[in-house]
Amino acid sequence: MFKIHKGIVLIAIAIVVSVFVYYRYAAKILQVNKGENEAPVTDMLPVGSKKVSAVVKYMATEDKEDELRFVVTVDKSGIITELATLDAKTNEVPEKKIAFNQQVSVMIVGKKLSELTAIDNVAKSSMTTKAFNSVIDELKAQL
């Protein structure tokens, strides 16, 4: 019969194992991206970190009121490490607020919450920016 070298068998086994591990990992990534296994806002935090949040209602348009929850994570030094803008009722990031979240995070992550002042308009979201600015003092008070 055929003589198969040990090296070829080992390579074949390595490929099969790699494909299996990749498939399992990729499936988990795709589930998270679909929102099926979203982690709650109350994930375990690094020691000394703290989440502070504030809810605000504001008129997004003349006939539509929005209610958002701004959740800011600070480390033990009070430095902002993360921001989440969530729908106050569902605790999910509204699709229209993704760009706002990303751009505000770039502006405020790494700064001390206690020293944060009003931010400039972000991502064509002047009303959301005003809403965030209106709760900065409330967020600071929770430190």
User: Do 10 and 56 belong together in one domain?
Assistant: no
Distance of CA 107 to the CA centre of its chain: 15
Domain count for the chain, please give it.
2
Domain that holds residue 31: 1-38
Total-model pTM: 0.66
Q: Is 14 contained in some domain? A: yes
pLDDT value of position 11: 84
Q: Is 45 contained in some domain? A: no
Q: What is the CATH number of the domain that holds 108?
A: 3.90.1010
Please name the residue that has the structure tokens 């994570």. 73
pLDDT value of position 45: 64
pLDDT value of position 133: 94
User: Do 127 and 105 belong together in one domain?
Assistant: yes
Helix 126-141 and helix 98-108, axial crossing angle in degrees, nearest 10: 50
What residue type is 46 in one-letter code? P
Q: What is the DSSP letter of 38?
A: P
pLDDT value of position 37: 45
User: Do 30 and 81 belong together in one domain?
Assistant: no
pLDDT value of position 95: 87
pLDDT value of position 6: 79
pLDDT value of position 33: 47
User: Do 66 and 114 belong together in one domain?
Assistant: yes
User: Do 128 and 60 belong together in one domain?
Assistant: yes
User: Do 85 and 120 belong together in one domain?
Assistant: yes
Q: What pLDDT tens digit does each residue of the chain (143 aa) get?
A: 556 677 787 888 888 877 766 666 665 555 544 444 444 444 566 677 899 999 999 888 888 888 999 999 999 999 999 999 999 999 998 888 888 888 999 999 999 999 998 898 886 788 889 999 999 999 999 98
User: Do 86 and 115 belong together in one domain?
Assistant: yes
Q: Is 44 contained in some domain? A: no
